[in-house]
Amino acid sequence: MTAIISGSELASDLTGEDPPVILDVRWQLTAAKAPGEPAFDGRAEYAAGHLPGAVFVDLDAELAGPPGPGGRHPLPDLDVFGAAMRTAGVFADRDVVVYDGGQGWAAARAWWLLRWTGHPSVRVLDGGLAAWRGGLSTRTPDPEPGDFVPKPGETGAVDADGAAALARSGLLLDARAAERYWGDVEPIDRVGGHIPGAVSAPTTDNVGADGRFLPREQLADRFRSLGAVNGAEVGVYCGSGVSAAHEVLALAVAGIPAALYPGSWSEWSGDASRPVATGPDPQ
């Protein structure tokens, strides 16, 4: 099974005998909003119209823990995450499809968490809500409680020391915008720059103008050009472990396994003892 699904494929699956569970994870990074612009409210967007049967999942409350030394979106308490997934009707043996408003970052975070904690069948709606050609619903479903119990995998995630090791001996990709990698701007975290040895690889370059992922071979070529060759171990980080999940998803589409550094730059830069590199070069 692939990591993504098209709108037409999802419409077909929903008419089958065992339709997937649908999770709506609409979210935006509020720190990136223009001054004076109202904060994005994913739950209100969901209430105004969502895929029929979809259950809303709150990224900040259910897919991440409270901000702190571990970053702005550290890993959630797995009891909280598991309870949220069961309330949403997630079963260990039933397909799950996740979507967001179109950027794909939040959906990818949910995809990564479910996969990392042992769910065998999760896909992201490629292109998000805009890829859905069917009608929308304002009805809040009341699904049968699921049975999924998250069990973190031994691989697929790295901490700060693991990210540093990957930057030295494998390939560590920085999924943020290039100007943040360079250290020219830093709108959120304590200091700008990047983890020494990390390679700039903005996740926005993995999608086309319609927000959908580039073809598999095109993605594979891109990651090979960045150093994902000869079985190199690959890791990804971003500002807080959300957009990096989208890059891990792009790598999965390309057939390249990669680990996520959940704390990402918000954790790394919050520790003044850790080194910071600036400029366009990894070192």
- 150 assigned to some structural domain: no
- 170 assigned to some structural domain: yes
- 149 assigned to some structural domain: no
- 219 assigned to some structural domain: yes
84-123: per-residue pLDDT in tens? 999 999 999 999 999 999 999 999 999 999 999 999 999 9
Residue 170: strand, helix, or coil: coil
- 16 shares its domain with 127: yes
Residue where one domain finishes, among candidates 88, 113, 131: 131
Q: Is the dihedral of CA 103, 153, 54, 79 positive or negative?
A: negative
- 187 assigned to some structural domain: yes
Which one, of 256, 259, 12, lies nearest residue 112 by Cα?
A: 259
35 in catalytic set: no
- 127 shares its domain with 31: yes
pLDDT confidence bin for 31, thresholds 50/70/90: very low
- 179 shares its domain with 221: yes
Question: Residues 22, 90, 238, 242: which is the catalytic one?
Answer: 238
Say how many domains are in the chain.
2
The CATH number of residue 246's host domain is 3.40.250.10
Region 233-243 average pLDDT: 97
- 106 shares its domain with 199: no
- 202 assigned to some structural domain: yes
- 167 shares its domain with 97: no
- 124 shares its domain with 9: yes
Q: Which domain holds residue 165?
A: 160-268
Residue where one domain finishes, among candidates 131, 151, 176: 131
168-213: per-residue pLDDT in tens? 999 999 999 999 999 999 999 999 999 999 999 999 999 999 999 9
Which residues are CB-neighbours of 116 under 8 A, at least 6 positions away? 152, 153, 156, 157, 260
Would you state the torsion angle of the CA atoms of residues 238, 241, 247, 248, taken in this order, to the nearest 10 degrees?
130
Phi, psi (rounded to 5 degrees) for 56: -75, 140
Percent of the chain with pLDDT over 70: 96
